[in-house]
Structure 1
Amino acid sequence: MVKTYLRYEPAASFGVITSFDSKIAYDSTGKHVLAPALEKVGIWHVRQGICSKTLVPSSSRSGPSLAVTCIASSSSTLNRAQKVAVGYADGSIRIWDCEKGTCETNLNGHKGAVTALRYNKLGSMVASGGKDNDVILWDVVGETGLFRFRGHRDQITDLVFLDSGKKLVTSSKDKFVRVWDLETQHCMQILSGHHSEVWSVDVDPEERFLVTGSADRELRFYAVKQDMSHGSLVSDSNANGLDASGDHSTENKWEVLKPFGEIQRQTKDRVASVRYNHSGSLLACQMEGKTVEIYQVLNEAEGKRKSKRRLRRKEKKSSKDGDENIAGDGDASNEIEKADSVIAPTAPDLFKLLQVIRAGRKISSFSLCPITPRDSLATLALSLINNSLEFYTLKGSENEKTATIEHQGHRSDVRSVALSDDNTLLLSTSHNEVKIWNPSIGVCLRTIDSGYGICSMIVPKNRYGIVGTRSGVLEIIDIGSATKVEEIKAHGGTIWSIASIPDDSGFVTVSADHEVKFWEYQIKKEPGQVFYVDSLKFYLSLYGHQLPVMAIDISSDGDLIVTGSQDKNLKIWGLDFGDCHKSIFAHDDSIMGVKFVRNTHYLFSIGKDRLVKYWDADKFELLLTLGGHHAPIWGLAVSNRGDFLVTGSHDRSMRRWDRTEEPFFPEEEKEKRLEELFESEIDNNAVENRYQEEIPEEGVAGLAKNTTVDVLSAADSIIEALELAENEKKRVAEHEEEKTRGNVPALLPNAMMLGLSPSEFVLKTISKEKTNDLEQILLPLPFSDALRLLSYMENWSLIPEKVELVCRIATIVLQTHHNQLVTTPSARPILSVLRDVLHAKVKESKDTIGFNLAAMDHVKQMMASRSDAPFRDAKAKLMEIRSQQAKRMEARLDTKQERKRKKKQKRLEDGGHGHAWV
């Protein structure tokens, strides 16, 4: 009988605030920051400092291929729902609804990691660039790719829309900046003045000046021409009195960007990103190091004054050179006269260095808040490589750090993890701190300063933790008070491992000083002490590994011992004679940890190949391979009941894997691994062939979508549905023919078609697929199946909600098989019917939509008028109340004055009768 096992699946990951190789972004409200965290995106509330929501892709794939590489937030105010486009390392793009936390669209087009993303102003389109050197334009509303631009010879680094979304500017590591016309789908201008890779590009909100940043010391600026439609090009610099080049005789009417000048940066590090703020008054330039330079964008009048001062200083300087430079003085005077008539400021005149922000660690990315706070210029969020977020407020020439988010993660890689006996606490170590976690919800409870912890454990009763450090010191941590109780110099080298003695009376340490030491717990009133167990004697030596042993564990029954080594082998030994039962090539890199599941001979192993593997030590069989980490795995902890395990990695994340009730067979898992290996080899070959293709000199456009395994399987399902429908038609026809000959039993429904008619069954099958994948799904269809598909569309067009789908399918099929359809006489009747039916149905749908839009506008106007009426009534009532109050106040005042007058008169009368007043 085949033995079954219970499956382990990923349950949670925690410990990562922000990835060090991806970009952060503010949302449109300015209250939250979207921070990529490996394959997730955390939505952090800036004021509260908590992660309010997490965007996690639901995919069977995991690991580095699904890591977030870039992110773009829509700034459109047309849609209240906050949309976010997220690019991944596998080339896919997902559009998320931040309020619901759901993925609305999955776009597949790139054959390499997505490196650049940008929304247009309306939020209806997204442009993406990738490591495959391609630029793709996506229709977010239609959930499909429009076209692909090819022309760059290296990775796309950044892109930005121009001319209200009609133009697109892209930068690349090939040192070129290209301007693409989205209407004609071609490259209309190439900027080739950069001497090194261009890393970022941006344009101000008014689209006056475009800036590029590269590895050299200059920021280059370009004046953007306005009214760029069909030759009526008017330079924005000329319109504002700004001379971009000084030579208009050879002006190219198709030239969109004209050089405007350069400014010297303060630091030598290369530019990582340049961005304008929401109002366009500031320009932030992030360097590859620890600094961000903030430039103030001056207005036209200030730029002219600064330019005039610059020319006057030049005149004074030239006048000091003596009589030999009289001609030069005349030239300078001419320049001043020219400046008085037409001021021509350059980039240094309009962009002024305001301040430099210096962070404590290297900066990964930054984002400017779209909302400008009171009494300040802007708010800036920084993502640092030490897994933290910092927030700065810019005030004039100074800046202030207002907040930091760093509690929920280590500053460096997680070196070890340890679980308590009751599995309620998790201890993790890093280079300078120890953190205590709740493993069920992934929340950090305590943080304690410590040395470089390499290994750790929690002693029984969950009161203390023990950490073995790189310096050979044992640190005793009080978990309750979050303090370090004692430090003991235990070894002369790094302590590599700590293991508890089975009777919980002590523990064992293994060190780089070639010593194994046994320690026993002892509690005294004076400071706690530990001492050696001296009643031990040598038992066995286990020889066999070619390289140092990195991990060791003994089964709970004492029968087996397992060792993992740098030679990538896992060895299972018997403790009775010390013989090696089996040597297994387990991982593709060094094995860093092994653990038995208590009361079983099942074990887990981790390695630098980023994988967790589940083994049966009795059958020497691999049961499961768990992938998810993005870097080498250092630590492993298994719960006492074996219901979950926790791993810690160099990617600073900790992941929990839960045992489920789903059984599995090792043979099936082996087949799945072979299929995944085969598919990965096919994908790698396809990518290699793609990069070997010769890219033309000038930019060209191509198809946007990318064929994937899911798309091919969807095409197969549609072909199978068409075959089933055709067979059902034949069966019905044969039954009708038999009915004419005599009495026959009633025709039973086809269970394979779920009791549907052939037309309904094919429609249901094709409606399951995503609309953005239809083009790639229908491309592999043979011509005969395409004809069958067209024959069903007359019936489908009668369904109002399916008219748009029918039109899209018909358009794709006609474009794909146009030549064959034209030369096939049997296709003409179908095309004639579709021509008449689809035109009428589309016109009917357009009329319905137009009627609905007009009705909605009318309702909107009625609601607006009604909503204004109460305010007008309230205002009139308020004015009436105020007038009445004023009248009452006047009456009261008159009454009061009258009383005073009468009282005064009475006093005078009393005084006249001889009364004395004191």
Structure 2
Amino acid sequence: MFCLDTEGESKPVIDKEEEEIKDDASIVEVVQMGSVLRSRGDRVCGLQSDGRVVACHGKGPTVDLFAVLTEMEVATKAANRARKERKRAREAGNTTTTTSTATPQLADEIRKLPTLRAANKLLGVDVMSERSGLVRVAALHTDNSVALLSSDISAKEQKEKKEESQVSVLGRPGHRTEIRAVAFTSLSDQVVTGSAEALKVWNRGDTQATLTVPCGPVTTLLVVPGDRHALVGTRSGHLQLIEFASATLLEDILAHEPDETATDTGVWSVALTHDGRGFVSGGSDKMVKFWKFRDSRALKVADQVTCLRCSSGGRFLAVATLDLKETIYFIDSLRLCHELYGKSLPATCMDFSTDSTLLVTGSKDSSLRIYGTDFGDQRKLLKNAHQGGVTDLRFIPKTHMFFSCGHDSTVKQWDADNFQRIITLEGHTGIVRCLSVCPRGAWVLSGGQDRSLRLWERTQEPLVLEEEREEELKRKEEEDGTTATQRRVLPGEEGAQAVRPTVATHHTEKAADMILEALSVYREQVESGGKAEPHYLMTYVYKTSDPLRLVLEVLRKVKSSELEEAIMVLPMDRILELLVVVRAMLRRGWAVELATRVLVVALRVNLPQLLASANAKPVIHSLAALLPTKMQELEDMIGFNLAGLRHLKDRVEQRSETQLFVEASQRVKESRRKRKKKDRAVKRVLMAL
């Protein structure tokens, strides 16, 4: 625990050693007051406070509560502690300790409250205390549920040691596990989603869950024509038919038997036929089965089925298998039409366009492939469409544009005719597992690893691809610039020592522009021999006729926290000019400390380039000969001034026969005594352990 002192240097620092006490121009100081122990020894992940109670939690389900006492309670507790210390001293026969001060300590200001325990591991908490002594804690669990915990911290309750109670749990509105499948109804007014624990039906208008049906681990689903049933494929190989009106499981059959040799088993894909009277399913048993809402016929394939789709015209059936190929069959005769090759990893998703002329596949190799169904030719390979792999894709009805999602937490829209990316939708914080496009193409629904559903609506705002690309390029340059600045490695340093503590901002860019302008004015004045017309910076802003003085004033005007970053962004040719100016400043003895700092930063960042430059070597050699002399002169001046001040202090003490700074010296000695006492106590505890 720390104390924030806003009086700064107006108060003496008594909790530091003499060698730790340094001059600081800041008026804010943070002093460590002590520490309090938690019930668990894991890392602290979150702190929340309402001014009266502090809630702390780690990665586990435990919430530690601490009460911040009022001034009256602190004074009472400190007085009681002092009285007990005097009593123990008298019982021990210690006659030297006659009084014990009631100075408040951290233990007097913080009181440990009963520990709350949630049902699951925590992601975050918030706390609210009431005057009656009741503390309420809202806890966000890792399974996407929210619980409200309460505990009475009144004195009576503390003595009775009653346990805290879980008031309520908010768990029905969301999924507890990853969302694996989503689908729109035919009217787009409802959305069906599935995860490992349940199937949910949502109202698209108010985004509220209207129905929850427990089922097996969902891998794929589709809404049966009529919008009254949902067909669910599970990881255990079962097909389940769920009715919305009664929220019951009507039928559960084993459609694809689990393969003992396969690591992942289940029904991986189902697709509705063009007439809406049946569907096709594929799974880990290397079988593609056709159903008229009952098993009608089967097709044996070479490997496990990862995905399948039926064309809207009822002509083609596309099947993707684990042997890195997709096969297109004629759906009426199941005769082979085309075989598609060329992938390095299996396809995970595919879809036909509405006119059945295009087939797009996405695979784990992060690429999208666009095929023509007439000849099975590959029209385009879109590499690195989604970093980490493509998980799902859907065509917009009656268009050649489609949406895709993947492991990079984004949803992207593509044009399959000119092979361009139209827009990137960001918002998910984890892998986007599935998406669905409504029949009218006005909404897109996505869900994934972060257990959230995101509904995207098409707007009427015109979209210009060139402007979108420019905005994306600008954002990428800013991110790359920030990352490069943070990871810039200085010569001679390794590991964590080379990480930059600051980043380039518009303030540092402004400071760099000021330095560049001052260097340009200095160069013009020197090249003209002082005959050039004085610049407005010299005449009106800094009011000096010396261009070297202008550069000095500009360097002084730059904030200390921004000077280093400003020098780092200067181009190489201007760095050499800056070194020449610093050499001139050192020769005149101007601002030796500032000149040295500028010189050190410029050399450390650009040393390899400067050593390779023939023009920079004479400047560096002259600086190496000049800098030690100037630094020694500065050190001698500081030492002389310090000796003079000490002499004046001794003379004043001899005249008044008093010692200056007696109170401060006593406080420093008392601080050292307390620190030694604390170290001895810690050593005794370690020896006892």
TM class, shorter-length: 0.5 to 0.7
Change (3 A) 1:262 1:594: closer
Q: Is the 8 A contact 1:311 1:336 kept in 2?
A: no
- Whole-Å Cα distance in 2 between the matches of residues 565 and 251 of structure 1? 60
Describe the superposition over 1:818-875 as per-residue Cα deviations: whole angstroms up to 9, x where unpaired.
99522169xxxxxxxxxxxxxxxxxxxxxxxxxxxxxxxxxxxxxxxxxxxxxxxxxx
Give, as a single letter, the amino acid of the residue that structure 2 aligns with 1:609.
D
Aligned to 1:537: 334
- Whole-Å Cα distance in 2 between the matches of residues 311 and 518 of structure 1? 89
Describe the superposition over 1:430-449 as per-residue Cα deviations: whole angstroms up to 9, x where unpaired.
22122222224423222222
- Whole-Å Cα distance in 2 between the matches of residues 639 and 573 of structure 1? 24
Q: Is the 8 A contact 2:482 2:503 kept in 1?
A: no
Q: Is the 8 A contact 2:446 2:455 kept in 1?
A: yes
Aligned to 1:516: 288
Correspondence 1:490 to 2:255: yes
Deviation at 1:360, TM superposition (A): 1.3
Deviation at 1:331, TM superposition (A): 9.4
Describe the superposition over 1:326-366 as per-residue Cα deviations: whole angstroms up to 9, x where unpaired.
xxxx9961459848755678666775543111111212222
Describe the superposition over 1:768-790 as per-residue Cα deviations: whole angstroms up to 9, x where unpaired.
xxxxxxx8899699689x9xxxx
- Whole-Å Cα distance in 1 between the matches of residues 538 and 176 of structure 2? 58
Change (3 A) 1:257 1:542: closer
Aligned residues: 470
Q: Which range moves more in the overlay, 559-568 or 578-587?
A: 578-587
- Whole-Å Cα distance in 1 between the matches of residues 471 and 47 of structure 2? 45
Q: Is the 8 A contact 2:63 2:117 kept in 1?
A: yes
Aligned to 1:857: none
- Whole-Å Cα distance in 1 between the matches of residues 228 and 485 of structure 2? 56
Instruction: Considering fraction of residues, name the structure with more strand.
Output: 1
Q: Is the 8 A contact 1:783 1:817 kept in 2?
A: no
Give, as a single letter, the amino acid of the residue that structure 2 aligns with 1:162.
L
1:428 pairs with 193, 198, 204, which one? 193
Correspondence 1:361 to 2:123: no
Change (3 A) 1:622 1:703: closer
- Whole-Å Cα distance in 1 between the matches of residues 490 and 195 of structure 2? 40
Deviation at 1:476, TM superposition (A): 2.3
2:374 pairs with 576, 589, 606, which one? 576
> Is the partner of 2:192 in helix, strand or coil?
strand
- Whole-Å Cα distance in 1 between the matches of residues 173 and 471 of structure 2? 36
Aligned to 2:38: 265
Change (3 A) 1:393 1:459: same
- Whole-Å Cα distance in 2 between the matches of residues 509 and 650 of structure 1? 24
Q: Aligned runs of 1:338-349 on 2, under 5 Å? A: 338=97, 341-342=100-101
- Whole-Å Cα distance in 2 between the matches of residues 256 and 441 of structure 1? 50
- Whole-Å Cα distance in 2 between the matches of residues 691 and 649 of structure 1? 41
Structure with the greater relative contact order (CA < 8 A, sep ≥ 6): 1 or 2? 1
> Is the partner of 1:462 in helix, strand or coil?
coil
Q: Is the 8 A contact 1:612 1:625 kept in 2?
A: yes
Give, as a single letter, the amino acid of the residue that structure 1 aligns with 2:59.
E
Q: Is the 8 A contact 1:307 1:346 kept in 2?
A: no
Deviation at 1:554, TM superposition (A): 1.6
Change (3 A) 1:399 1:506: same
- Whole-Å Cα distance in 2 between the matches of residues 394 and 626 of structure 1? 43
Aligned to 1:388: 145
Change (3 A) 1:583 1:514: farther
- Whole-Å Cα distance in 1 between the matches of residues 190 and 62 of structure 2? 39
Q: Is the 8 A contact 1:706 1:776 kept in 2?
A: no
- Whole-Å Cα distance in 1 between the matches of residues 367 and 503 of structure 2? 45
Aligned to 1:414: 179
Q: Is the 8 A contact 1:389 1:406 kept in 2?
A: yes
Q: Which range moves more in the overlay, 418-427 or 646-655?
A: 646-655
Aligned to 1:211: none
Aligned to 1:552: 350
Aligned to 1:293: 64
Deviation at 1:567, TM superposition (A): 1.3
Q: Which range moves more in the overlay, 636-645 or 657-666?
A: 657-666
> Is the partner of 1:661 in helix, strand or coil?
coil
Describe the superposition over 1:161-191 as per-residue Cα deviations: whole angstroms up to 9, x where unpaired.
734xx16xxxxxxxxxxxxx4xx7xxxxxxx
Describe the superposition over 1:368-426 as per-residue Cα deviations: whole angstroms up to 9, x where unpaired.
21x5153x332222222222332222113432222333343322332221111111111
Change (3 A) 1:655 1:253: closer
- Whole-Å Cα distance in 1 between the matches of residues 96 and 48 of structure 2? 36
Give, as a single letter, the amino acid of the residue that structure 2 aligns with 1:271.
V
Deviation at 1:704, TM superposition (A): 11
Change (3 A) 1:566 1:257: closer
Q: Is the 8 A contact 1:590 1:607 kept in 2?
A: yes
- Whole-Å Cα distance in 2 between the matches of residues 394 and 386 of structure 1? 23
Deviation at 1:502, TM superposition (A): 1.5
Give, as a single letter, the amino acid of the residue that structure 2 aligns with 1:483.
T
> Is the partner of 2:124 in helix, strand or coil?
strand
Give, as a single letter, the amino acid of the residue that structure 1 aligns with 2:164.
N
Q: Is the 8 A contact 1:366 1:380 kept in 2?
A: yes
Change (3 A) 1:283 1:592: closer
Correspondence 1:608 to 2:450: no
Q: Is the 8 A contact 2:220 2:232 kept in 1?
A: yes
- Whole-Å Cα distance in 1 between the matches of residues 493 and 60 of structure 2? 36
- Whole-Å Cα distance in 2 between the matches of residues 250 and 579 of structure 1? 77
- Whole-Å Cα distance in 2 between the matches of residues 609 and 499 of structure 1? 26
> Is the partner of 1:513 in helix, strand or coil?
coil
TM-score scaled by structure 2? 0.58
Deviation at 1:598, TM superposition (A): 1.7
> Is the partner of 1:681 in helix, strand or coil?
helix
Change (3 A) 1:779 1:382: farther
Correspondence 1:502 to 2:260: no
Change (3 A) 1:274 1:300: farther
Q: Aligned runs of 1:427-446 on 2, under 5 Å? A: 427-446=192-211
- Whole-Å Cα distance in 1 between the matches of residues 427 and 492 of structure 2? 33
Describe the superposition over 1:573-601 as per-residue Cα deviations: whole angstroms up to 9, x where unpaired.
23334333333213322111121122222
1:475 pairs with 212, 237, 240, which one? 240
> Is the partner of 2:113 in helix, strand or coil?
strand
2:92 pairs with 320, 333, 354, which one? 333
Aligned to 2:130: 372
Correspondence 1:686 to 2:485: yes
Deviation at 1:665, TM superposition (A): 5.0
Aligned to 1:162: 4
Deviation at 1:307, TM superposition (A): 7.0
Change (3 A) 1:342 1:607: closer
Q: Aligned runs of 1:23-38 on 2, under 5 Å? A: none
Give, as a single letter, the amino acid of the residue that structure 1 aligns with 2:542.
L
Describe the superposition over 1:647-669 as per-residue Cα deviations: whole angstroms up to 9, x where unpaired.
11322222223333344455554
> Is the partner of 1:428 in helix, strand or coil?
strand
Give, as a single letter, the amino acid of the residue that structure 1 aligns with 2:122.
I
Q: Is the 8 A contact 1:311 1:335 kept in 2?
A: no
Q: Is the 8 A contact 2:201 2:210 kept in 1?
A: yes
Correspondence 1:822 to 2:543: yes
Aligned to 1:757: none
- Whole-Å Cα distance in 1 between the matches of residues 489 and 144 of structure 2? 35
The gaps in structure 1 that reach 5 residues or longer are 1-158, 168-180, 185-228, 236-244, 316-329, 522-529, 696-701, 713-774, 787-813, 826-918
Give, as a single letter, the amino acid of the residue that structure 2 aligns with 1:372.
E
Q: Aligned runs of 1:145-184 on 2, under 5 Å? A: 162-163=4-5, 166=6, 181=8
Deviation at 1:455, TM superposition (A): 1.9
Give, as a single letter, the amino acid of the residue that structure 2 aligns with 1:648.
G
> Is the partner of 1:547 in helix, strand or coil?
coil
Q: Is the 8 A contact 1:308 1:336 kept in 2?
A: no
Amino-acid identity (%): 29
Aligned to 1:457: 222
- Whole-Å Cα distance in 2 between the matches of residues 823 and 481 of structure 1? 88
Change (3 A) 1:560 1:705: closer
